[in-house]
């Protein structure tokens, strides 16, 4: 790591070690780096504690903490991690260090500059999220087969909307598509029945970490 890179700083909400609860990496022991700040205010957000606060940490300090857990998998999340410009330097440093890196991003910010080695998990906002107008559809052209698309659904109207989006943009042909029920708003069983009924080429996603630990912060 160069001296200039090591001195790069980011505002960090928390760094913790847990099982990945979402995406195709579900169940894998993972280090989570949660960055502070987000330009969106989704109705179902479960990480509002990351909107503000946190502490400034250098890239060198962050890497030292990640190294201490001795795991291969790292997830950079938020908030919205790309809201901090230095996130790109962090992603590059993690990849250079040999980690398998995933990035959870809201889809409202440009992803074209994200290191190609990173697995992007792009969250497309539905009408019930309250932020559907923030979707940056141009990001879809920057997705590769190792990336993933996630849609959090609040109700059946969201599901119908999502099904049309899948068809209009040929999303299952681009990468893995994850459909997830918003906690407390849509039953996972109902979503499963709809997926099977309509023969969608998607993956049902439930949040493993919440099944194990509830809404406990740092899990």
**What are φ and ψ of residue 30, in 5° steps?**
-140, 145
Domain hosting residue 50, numbered range: 3-213
Residue 15 lies in a domain: yes
Which residue, chain included where needed, has tokens 């060198």? 60
Q: Are 107 and 40 in contact (CB under 8 A)?
A: no
pLDDT for 23 equals 94
pLDDT for 14 equals 97
Predicted confidence pLDDT, tens digits, the chain (219 residues): 554 555 699 999 999 999 999 999 999 999 999 999 999 999 999 889 999 999 999 999 999 999 999 999 999 999 999 999 999 999 999 999 999 999 999 999 999 999 999 999 999 999 999 999 999 999 999 999 999 999 999 999 999 999 999 999 999 999 999 999 999 999 999 999 999 999 999 999 998 877 887 777 776
DSSP-assigned states of every residue in 82-119: GGSTTHHHHHHHHHHTT-EEEEEE-SSS--TTS-TTSE
The pTM assigned to this predicted structure is 0.92
pLDDT for 3 equals 45
Q: How many alpha carbons lie under 13 Å from residue 200 in its C-beta half-sphere?
A: 26
Residue 219 lies in a domain: no
Per the structure, the count of domains in the chain is 1
3-state percent breakdown (helix, strand, coil) of the chain, nearest 5: 35, 25, 40
pLDDT for 219 equals 67
Q: Is 101 exposed, middle or buried (0-12, 13-18, 19+ CB in 10 A)?
A: buried
pLDDT for 212 equals 81
pLDDT for 203 equals 97
Residue 158 lies in a domain: yes
Residue 127 lies in a domain: yes
Residue 218 lies in a domain: no
Q: What is the CATH number of the domain that holds 71?
A: 3.20.20.70
């Amino acid at each position: 790591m160069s001296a200039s890179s090591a001195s790069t700083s980011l505002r960090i909400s928390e760094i913790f070690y847990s099982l990945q609860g979402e995406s195709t990496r579900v169940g894998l022991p993972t280090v989570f780096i949660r960055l502070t700040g987000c330009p969106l205010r989704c109705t179902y957000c479960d990480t509002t504690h990351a909107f503000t606060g946190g502490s400034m940490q250098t890239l060198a300090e962050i890497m030292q903490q990640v190294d201490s857990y001795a795991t291969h998998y790292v997830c950079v999340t938020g908030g919205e991690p790309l809201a901090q410009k230095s996130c790109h330097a962090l992603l590059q440093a993690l990849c250079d260090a040999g980690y398998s890196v995933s990035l959870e991003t809201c889809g409202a910010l440009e992803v074209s500059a994200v290191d190609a080695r990173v697995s992007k998990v792009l969250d497309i906002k539905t009408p019930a999220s309250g932020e559907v107008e923030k979707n940056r559809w141009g990001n879809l052209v920057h997705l590769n087969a190792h990336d993933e698309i996630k849609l959090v659904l609040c109700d059946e109207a969201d599901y119908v909307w999502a099904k049309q989006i899948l068809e209009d943009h040929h999303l299952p042909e681009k990468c893995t598509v994850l459909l997830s029920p918003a906690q407390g708003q849509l039953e996972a069983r109902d979503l499963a029945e709809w997926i099977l009924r309509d023969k969608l080429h998607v993956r049902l996603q439930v949040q493993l970490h919440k099944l194990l630990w509830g809404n406990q912060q740092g899990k």
